[in-house]
Amino acid sequence: MLHRHIGPYNTTAVGLGEMPLTIENNLGEDKGVETIHAALDAGCRHLDTAWAYYCSGGEEQTGEKLVRRALDGWKGPREEVLVATKVGHYRNFTDGRPTWDVDGRPESLIRHAKESALALGVDAIDLLYFHRPDPKVPYAESVEAIRELVDEGVAKTAGVSNASVEQIDIAHDILGDRLVAVQNQFSPIWKQTRDTLQHAGRMGLAFVCWSPLGGYRKPKKESLFDPFREVAARHGVSYQQVVLAWELAQGDHVFVIPGAHRPATILDSLKAGDLRLSPEELSALG
């Protein structure tokens, strides 16, 4: 299975995005544990979760707690698994609908990161991301809180998520070599962040694609996946594998964290690290 470096960690380029296992329409805790175990047993060594991965109105941090339960019950080498989490987001209801909101106040980030460490059952979080900029709080102030958390040993390394090129530079100025990753949305239907993908590469930072298959909570422009389906038919694989392989081919610093509701889905996605696309195929896919 393809491995790459995120800061000091050598981990799988295809990770598991935990979010679908604990937000709305999940299939239950036992199925979540089964899915994580299936990924780990297949060789995945990169799990991504967040403080905010829980159902609106439900128990907070269920995503982090699920990851802990799965790892506690797994018989494999726990020390090989990179667990990343994020702070700065939370769930609420707006007009009776489950929604997301942000809280980038330093005191909130510090409190929630310490809660994350407790939920994960670790002395120090492997990789802690600032989840999303808060327009009410100067970006530098939020990132300084992340630096304080690394300085105090609450987290070993830091990352930023949903960040612009300018914000990546601000974070790097504050965090220095403690900043190891940028996690932004990137997929065939969301290429607006290609500038941040390239900027991360120039800076020696990992770029982690969230919703690499386009996500499932909003309607997708399915026609944009037609070229990937054509390539998949030639290779005899799923088009999702082709999408992930195309993203990984954007640079040696690129990672993908597809979500899954059940074991079969993530087991298919994990094969993308072994799929090699020709230069002609990559050019046709854009």
Which residue numbers are catalytic?
53
CB atoms within 10 A of CB 263: 17
Distances (CA, A) of 157 to 50, 199, 283: 15, 19, 35
Nearest 10 degrees: CA dihedral of 197, 198, 204, 207? 10
Number of residues in the chain: 286
Q: Which 3 state secondary structure label does DSSP give 234?
A: helix
Cβ-in-10-Å burial (0-12, 13-18, 19+) of 278 comes to exposed
Contact by Cβ (8 Å): 253, 205 = yes
